[in-house]
Amino acid sequence: MEIVILKSADEIATVVGDAIEDLLRTHEAPVLGLATGSSPLPVYRELVRRHTEEGLSLAHARAFLLDEYVGLPHGHPESYREVIRRELTGLVDIDESRVQGPDGGSDDIASAGPRYDEAIRAAGGVDLQLLGIGSDGHIAFNEPGSSLASRTRLKTLTEQTRQDNARFFDHVDDVPYHVLTQGLGTIMEARHLVLVATGAGKAEAVAAMVEGPVSQLCPGSVTQMHPHVTVLLDEDAAAGLRLTDYYRHAYAHKPAWQGL
């Protein structure tokens, strides 16, 4: 696990943008994993800027979303498919048919998860999966207590997560109770995990994820077991870490050829 501590969300977005651009320019059929929430938004703005100002193309890429609410009507502005379209995919040159998310409107929710996992496998797997982390340590919607080997499936949101997400809705009562989410086992199959966290509100979860035990109590801690995971933090999100001097030293002396 590589820990990168930078001064701002904009600096993080530049570094992650470089990694995604390198993937797009060096792979014939790159597969991106896209997360929603506030943490990835600066990254998406940077990719849109590179597309509009520098001609970066995503037309040859495919994208898979981490999760989706269950029960929101098609086209609801807070469905994650619409959020991603609004923040990224609708602003660049990737065709809508190449962007796929879990089917939260399926009449057969029980089989929607396995079908989604199969779609990811059929695409060759995710090359770079962008992640955030919740204040309780969840990644995607794998809440505390989730199996570390879980697959894409239906999950019930905790009240904390519903409260956290209420800012996107008119009222907390409008936040769905259920989601379809990639499981921790599904996420861990991506070839490169890139997790972004900013702000003091994420410091406790980040410390548990990076330096705590691997535990269902902090689902994000499973990423300690991944062979290629990069965690990018601002100073506030890194405030609870004990080995920050080493993390800064290692990144400052990292060979350029290694990339992110």
Element (H, E) at 229: strand 229-234
Between the CA of residue 42 and those of 46, 47, 56, 65, 203, what are the distances in Å?
6, 9, 17, 17, 19
CB 214 within 8 A of CB 1: no
Question: Active-site residue among 136, 164, 192, 234?
Answer: 136
CA 254 to centroid of chain Cα atoms: 24
From CA 32, how far away is CA 62, in angstroms rounded? 6
Length of the chain, in residues: 260
From CA 161, how far away is CA 159, in angstroms rounded? 5
From CA 70, how far away is CA 116, in angstroms rounded? 14
Among 65, 19, 39, 22, which Cα is nearest to 233's?
39
- At residue 56, the 3 state secondary structure works out as coil
Question: Active-site residue among 51, 76, 138, 192?
Answer: 138
Question: Active-site residue among 103, 143, 164, 234?
Answer: 143
143 a catalytic residue: yes
Question: Active-site residue among 67, 117, 164, 234?
Answer: 67
76 a catalytic residue: no
Residue with tokens 């050829």: 257
Position 144, amino acid? P
CB 249 within 8 A of CB 23: no
138 a catalytic residue: yes
From CA 22, how far away is CA 187, in angstroms rounded? 21
From CA 61, how far away is CA 74, in angstroms rounded? 24
For the annotated catalytic residues, the residue numbers are 67, 136, 138, 143
